[in-house]
Structure formats: structure tokens, C-alpha cells
Amino acid sequence: MTPDPIVAADLRINPRWIIPVQPAGAVLEDHAVLIQGDRIAAVVSNQEADERYRAKETINLPDHVVLPGLINMHGHAAMSLFRGMADDLPLMTWLNDHIWPAEGQFVDAAFIATGTQLAMAEMLRTGTTTFSDMYFFPEIAAQVAHDAGMRAQICFPLLDFPTIWGSGPDEYFDKGRAIIEQWRDDSRIMPAIGPHAPYTVSNGPLATARTLADETGAKIQIHLHETAFEVTEALRQNNQRPVQRLASLGLLGPDTQCVHMTQIDDSDIRALTSSGAHIVHCPESNLKLASGLCPVQQLTDAGINVTLGTDGAASNNDHDMFGEMNTAAMIGKVVADDAAAVSAHQTIAMATLNGARALGREDELGSLEAGKLADLIAVDLGDPFLQPVYDPASHLVYSNHGRQVTHSWIGGIPQVQNGQLTRIDVPDLMLRVREWSAKISRR
């Protein structure tokens, strides 16, 4: 009998545990991940790896768990430069009296470049390999993310009124179409449409957003049902809940990502289920702004895909998806009145494969399977405060912090090695951050 041929690989990773996410709930021991080029070649037992594969490089991680890179499905990356600037305020006060005035005074292309890079440094260092961004000057954010080698869904902003980025919907769409055309075939940058919220975008631009999405395949991401006040005002003004209004405009669909969704009734769930829309849960931002609580388990039980995002660092105040997982799981149990709700494995899936589904890239991202893109991270569970380890999935959600991430790869390219960023010049970045901090402090 002819033996199987030896298969070449660029990299072999030997961790203590692997959480592949698919199949659901699996934890593999004595297994290796093989990477060839930008793809996962195999996830196999160490014995099979020894017998069938020869790798140019081998990394042994005896105290680590390897899992897919995290997907942060909502944020405003450049707002990292406003971190901690206006805390302990309700949402509309925070926006109207502090954030929007500061944006008008400070946000420009240079602000976006530095703020986005600062957010990416934090995200990479804490395990995120793909993020979704909705903010001004999206063309700058897209280029900065591309240059750093991160994957990013870049949503161009859409509002009824003038901003620092444009004079109104016509200009936003003109610029947005150019961004979609520039990046539509890129493997890392995913251009998308970002209507801010139902209370800031009228029916005409929302209908145009639907048409543009149908024409280009771009996803739509919108803040929706973030506060009780938003829903109450919509009922008073239009006699429709915001979800009902979007459904009537045809805006809800499998390409729609609904951010926050803290105020939900049975009619909303029926509309979301029938449309195939996705939910982006941002638990820490929702808590900090007292916006409300998203019923994650109820939505999941209804068959709705629930993903996870940090929101911006001005309202969170960090981009650590492990912290977000912890908060999501804890709140999910209280809201469901069930300690078994929103389990550790379910929460990890929200931060990985569910995000890939919302992006329409579940065939390439979100789990460790042969043929998928080699976006993965390694987390060190060897520290005393994480001992003993009976269940690595439980530790990742309930005990871990993002700073335990020691390695990260995107498309097989190292982004974090032994806790150090490989593609971002941190000293140069910090000089620019300090300059912005001094300028903003003098406002």
C-alpha cells in the first residue's frame, strides 16, 4: 500500500487546546493547526501532523488555546482619541453636548488616521483580527486598515444633515459609491453603507441606501432601537416602531446589521426573523450609557444571528472583545433569568463565526477549518490567576483578559508575536496620540 504523500506547510502551531468554533462546542487537545500561504491547510491530531505534514516553521504553545481571530462587528475606531472625554452622561446629552461639538472641532483626516491606528493597535493586541467601522472620513480608515493588514468592514456615514465629511445625503452617497468601487474586490476591506439611525436619516436616503446595497452587494449597518426614548419618539412621530419603519422601506434583509437592539417586543422579533437581519450586541456601551439590555437568548432562540461589538472607545471605553464576551454572557443570563443562557461556547461563536455570517464571509472566516483564511489567535492560559484550567472555553469568557493574547495571524501573516505588534510602529503612534491629547485637552 502506497503511503500518503508528505504535505508541505509554511507553519505548524502546536497549542495545548484548539477551539475551532465549528463544530460547535468542540475543544481539541493534542492537535495542531497547519497553515499554507494565507489559508488553513488542516486542523489534525499531532500524530497525523507528524506523519503527513512537514512545516517550514513550528511554534509550540504548551499553555495556550488557539481560536479564530475575533470579529468586532461595530465601532467608531477613531473615537479612541476621545476615550474618557465625556463619561457618566446619558446618550443624547453625551452626543449633543460633547461628542458632536468635539467632532466638529477636531475631526479631520489626520485625526482619523491616528485614532484608527490607535484602535487597531488595541484590537490586534487583544485578539481582534476583523472589525467593522462606521465613522467620518471612511476612505482614510480603509487605507489605514489595509496598510496594517487588518480586515475591516468600512461603513460610510449617512445622515440627513451636513457634517465634517459632507454637505448632506447626496454628497455622502457620491463619496460612498467611490469607496465601494475602490475596495469592492479587496480581500481585506469590505465597504458598506452606514445610515446613522432612524432618527437621523429620513425615508428618501434610506430607500437610496437599499437601492445601492442591491446594486453593489454592500452591507448596511445602522444603530437601531438603542434606547427606549428612540422607540417612544418614533411611535409618537410616525406611529411606527423603528424596526417596522425600516421593514416597510425594505431596508431589513440578510445584508442588514442592526446595532444595539435593546428595546425589543414580539413584533420586532417577527420582523427580524422573517427578514434574516443580523443583530450586533454592544453590551458594555449599552450599560455605560444606560441604553438598555439586549435579550440575546430570546433572539438566538428565534433563529436570529447575534454578533458582538465593542462600540467606540468614547462610550465603552475599550476595544477588548474578551471583556465584551464576559459582559455579554453575564448580562445574557440575567435578562433570560437562566444561568444556562448565553453559554461560553455560544458567546465565543458570537465573537467569531456569527460575525463572519453577518459579513457574508462565513465560508472564509470565523472558524478554524481547512480551506478557510488563516485568521487566528493564541491566548496564554498559563498565568496563576487563570489556574487551574478545567475548561478553556469557560476561561476565555469568564476569567480571561485580552492582554493574554500572545500571537495573532491574519491571512497567515503574523500581527502579534509574543505580545508585540509586528506591523504598527507603537512609539511613533504614541507621539501622535499625545499631540492629539494635548490639543483636545485645551478645548
From first to last of its 443 residues, the chain has per-residue pLDDT tens of: 556 789 999 999 999 999 999 999 999 999 999 999 999 999 999 999 999 999 999 999 999 999 999 999 999 999 999 999 888 888 788 888 988 899 999 999 999 999 999 999 999 999 999 999 999 999 999 999 999 999 999 999 999 999 999 999 999 999 999 999 999 999 999 999 999 999 999 999 999 999 999 999 999 999 999 999 999 999 999 999 999 999 999 999 999 999 999 999 999 999 999 999 999 999 999 999 899 999 999 999 999 999 999 999 988 899 999 999 999 999 999 999 999 999 999 999 999 999 999 999 999 999 999 999 999 999 999 999 899 999 999 999 999 888 999 999 999 999 999 999 999 999 999 999 999 999 998 87
Query: In terms of domains, do 400 and 267 share one?
Result: no
Query: In terms of domains, do 391 and 314 share one?
Result: no
Q: How far apart are the first and last CA of the chain?
A: 77
277 within domain boundaries: yes
Are 75 and 319 contacting, i.e. CB atoms less than 8 angstroms apart? yes
Query: In terms of domains, do 57 and 75 share one?
Result: no
434 within domain boundaries: no
Give the CATH number of the domain where residue 62 resides: 2.30.40.10
| Non-local CB neighbours of 187 within 8 Å, separated by 6+ positions | 411
Query: In terms of domains, do 23 and 126 share one?
Result: no
Are 21 and 68 contacting, i.e. CB atoms less than 8 angstroms apart? yes
The residue count of the chain comes to 443
Q: What is the dihedral of CA 328, 333, 336, 341, to 10 degrees?
A: 90
112 within domain boundaries: yes
424 within domain boundaries: no
Query: In terms of domains, do 238 and 294 share one?
Result: yes
168 within domain boundaries: yes
Instruction: Give the integer Cα–Cα distance in Å for 27 and 42.
Output: 16
120 within domain boundaries: yes
Query: In terms of domains, do 38 and 179 share one?
Result: no
14 within domain boundaries: yes
Residue 2 confidence (pLDDT): 55
Are 346 and 336 contacting, i.e. CB atoms less than 8 angstroms apart? no
Are 414 and 408 contacting, i.e. CB atoms less than 8 angstroms apart? yes
Sign of CA dihedral 329, 333, 338, 339: positive
Query: In terms of domains, do 141 and 235 share one?
Result: yes
Residue 170 confidence (pLDDT): 98
417 within domain boundaries: no
Rg (CA), the chain: 22
Query: In terms of domains, do 331 and 405 share one?
Result: no
Are 312 and 79 contacting, i.e. CB atoms less than 8 angstroms apart? yes
Domain's final residue, options 359, 391, 423: 359
Residue 417 confidence (pLDDT): 98
- Domain tally, the chain: 2
Query: In terms of domains, do 44 and 95 share one?
Result: no
Give the CATH number of the domain where residue 280 resides: 3.20.20.140
Query: In terms of domains, do 220 and 97 share one?
Result: yes
Query: In terms of domains, do 298 and 386 share one?
Result: no
Query: In terms of domains, do 283 and 145 share one?
Result: yes
Domain range enclosing 74: 70-359
